[in-house]
Amino acid sequence: MQMDPELLRSVYEESPIGMEIYDASGKLVDVNRSCLEIFGVEDVSEIKGFELFEDPNLPQEMKDKLKKGEAVRYEAPFDFNLVRERGLYRTSKTGLAYLDVLVTPLIRDQEGAPSAYLVQVQDITMRRLAEEGLRESEDKFRDLVEQSNDGIVLIDRQGTVLLWNKAMEDISGLRQEEVLGKYLWDVQYEMAPEERKTPQDYERLKSMILEGLRDHEAPWFGKVSEREAQTLGGERKSIASTVFPIKTREGFMIASINRDVSERKRYEESLWKYSYELQERIKELNCLYNVVRIIEQPGISLEMILQRVAEILPPALRYPEIARARIVFEGQEFRSAAFRETRWRLASPIYVWGSEAGRVEVFYLEDRAETDKGAFLEEEGIMLDAVAERLGRLIERLRLERALRESEKEFRLLAENAQDLIYRIRLRPERRFEYVSPSATAITGYTPQEHYDDPDLGFKLVHPEDRHLLEKAAAGEVEEDKPLTLRWIKKDGSIIWTEQRNVVIYDQSGE
């Protein structure tokens, strides 16, 4: 097939492999950009015409083979200092580099002599240094492996265990001599918990390891995974492993670093349990908070309060999707949506003035009991008791307010029809009349509204010579069971004698 010359030229120029083209005599004709970078040369003009067979870095035996028309490949050190000393060409590099060189004779003539040479060059310095470093550090590596706190395992390309360090013995309970030479999947199967020792599990382990060895890659390489293991003594452990491929002089192998994370797993489980319980308590607190919010809504009726409380109870339980609620009070029932009574029930009585007047109930539509104590948590019982108690106190307060309103209504009816002047004045935080009976107009000449408009009117009415007596009474310095006789100055200026009894009301601080 005829290749497009422009395509071939593009491949040549863009190749990451350094390429050189020499003519039949061995003179350099052209190089690509990668080759210039490898040899530290800025422009091809600086090395054009360079003699291949005069290169001091090209071994003589390789030169001889090339002249015979044979392709050669070799890895060898390339001395840039030697290039500088001999002035072969200008280069920005110094010291030694390791090169992988392939020289191929091209288009032989009728006599079989090459008409050109293609040289392909790769800088393998880093790889060679790494390999040498690896060889030098093998002993140190073995010491490190044995002293490591992490379990380290190494298998060869057949899957046979080559390395099983002391830490791995402690983690697994299997001694090195019991493991070396065995297939890793056999060892892991031996360590698996009883419920995972099935033929399917065994085949899965084996195929997974063999595929990684065959393909030299796997999605689980380099990733931390956790598995449950069981020692010969029956102790269950959680093991975190990182598996990775390594290339050695003996070939491709797989290594793993293993750590016993059983303690951490137990801590995580405890933390999860604590977090879960905390979320449950938050749900319960939110329920109690919402109960308070419902109760404190202005103008809301008791019936509406009981209905809304019944609706917010199911979401506060551990299994809200199957929870239902009902509040029973004085023959009435207030139910949550889709209510259905079942035998899985938790209830708290509502007490009003010490007598049971109703109950708060929650139900589960199915059995969710995890212990002998039933499906409901102890904390949920406490929450339900708190809701029932709060409702009981609410009902008591509502009944007390209703009784107080009725009492005030009777008091106001009495005061409105009394011949005597009856008033209530607040002294703190600011002085103001809270109530003045209609008889004020007939007795003082001032209407109740005029008293409301002027908080000091009550003191202004008193004769200046008697005002100190009223001030003492307001300060609580006069005995309440003794009448106080005062002169009052009416609106028309006339003076009348009055007898009044004062009752001082104190707040919680005693003022």
Between CA 409 and CA 497 the distance in angstroms is: 31
Tell me, yes or no, whether 317 and 342 share the same domain: yes
Closest among 189, 194, 50 to 117, alpha carbons compared? 50
Fill in the amino acid letter for 9: R
Tell me, yes or no, whether 278 and 335 share the same domain: yes
- Roughly how many angstroms between the first and final C-alpha of the chain, as a whole number? 112
Tell me, yes or no, whether 79 and 195 share the same domain: no
Q: Which residues are within 8 A (CB) of 330 and not within 5 positions of it... i.e. 6 or more apart?
A: 357, 358
Q: Which residues are within 8 A (CB) of 177 and not within 5 positions of it... i.e. 6 or more apart?
A: none
CATH assignment of the domain containing 136: 3.30.450.20
Tell me, yes or no, whether 381 and 427 share the same domain: no
Closest among 276, 275, 362 to 312, alpha carbons compared? 362
DSSP letter for each residue of 191-219: HS-GGG-SHHHHHHHHHHHHHHHHHS--T
pTM for the model: 0.42
Range of the domain at 84: 5-123
Tell me, yes or no, whether 119 and 35 share the same domain: yes
3-state secondary structure of 458: helix
Alpha helix (H) residue ranges in 313-439: 378-416
121, 52 in Cβ contact below 8 A? no
* Structural domain includes residue 10: yes
376, 314 in Cβ contact below 8 A? no
Q: What is the token pair recorded at 253?
A: 């192998």
Q: What is the per-residue burial (b if ≥16 Cβ within 10 Å, else e) of 111-139?
A: eeebeebbbbbbbbbeebeeeeeeeeeee
Matching residue, tokens 């349990």: 273
3-state secondary structure of 421: coil
* Structural domain includes residue 410: no
Tell me, yes or no, whether 49 and 110 share the same domain: yes
Between CA 337 and CA 236 the distance in angstroms is: 46
* Structural domain includes residue 403: no
Tell which of 260, 289, 310 closes a domain.
Answer: 260
Tell which of 220, 240, 260 closes a domain.
Answer: 260
CA dihedral in degrees (239, 244, 246, 251; nearest 10)? 80
Between CA 391 and CA 240 the distance in angstroms is: 53
Fill in the amino acid letter for 423: Y
Tell which of 123, 156, 182 closes a domain.
Answer: 123
Torsion sign (Cα): 292, 294, 298, 300: negative
391, 306 in Cβ contact below 8 A? yes
Between CA 135 and CA 9 the distance in angstroms is: 41
Q: CB neighbours (10 Å) of residue 221? A: 14
Between CA 365 and CA 324 the distance in angstroms is: 8
Paired with 360 in beta bridges are: 327, 348
* Structural domain includes residue 117: yes
Q: What is the mean pLDDT of each successive set of 10 residues along the chain, which is 511 residues long? A: 73 89 90 91 88 87 87 89 88 91 81 84 88 73 79 90 90 90 91 90 91 87 88 86 83 87 83 79 86 88 92 92 93 93 93 91 87 76 91 87 77 72 81 85 88 86 87 75 84 88 68 64
Between CA 9 and CA 2 the distance in angstroms is: 14
Q: What was the pLDDT predicted at 31?
A: 92
Number of domains in the chain: 4
Q: Which residues are within 8 A (CB) of 424 and not within 5 positions of it... i.e. 6 or more apart?
A: 433, 434, 435
* Structural domain includes residue 276: yes
Tell me, yes or no, whether 187 and 298 share the same domain: no
Closest among 445, 405, 451, 447 to 424, alpha carbons compared? 451
Q: What was the pLDDT predicted at 320?
A: 92
* Structural domain includes residue 505: no
Tell me, yes or no, whether 252 and 281 share the same domain: no
Tell me the CA distances in angstroms from 357 to 67, 125, 385, one per residue in order. 115, 92, 14
Judge residue 28's burial from the number of C-beta atoms within 10 Å of its C-beta, 0-12 exposed, 13-18 middle, 19 or more buried.
Answer: buried
Between CA 378 and CA 367 the distance in angstroms is: 17
Closest among 131, 124, 130 to 18, alpha carbons compared? 124
* Structural domain includes residue 47: yes
Q: What was the pLDDT predicted at 185?
A: 92
Tell me, yes or no, whether 219 and 144 share the same domain: yes
* Structural domain includes residue 413: no
What number of helices (H) and strands (E) belong to the chain?
16, 18
462, 488 in Cβ contact below 8 A? yes
390, 292 in Cβ contact below 8 A? yes
Q: What is the token pair recorded at 265?
A: 């797993």
Tell me, yes or no, whether 331 and 366 share the same domain: yes
Q: What is the token pair recorded at 141?
A: 């590596």
Closest among 344, 347, 329, 355 to 383, alpha carbons compared? 347
Closest among 262, 243, 245 to 253, alpha carbons compared? 245
Tell me, yes or no, whether 181 and 278 share the same domain: no
Tell me, yes or no, whether 302 and 392 share the same domain: yes
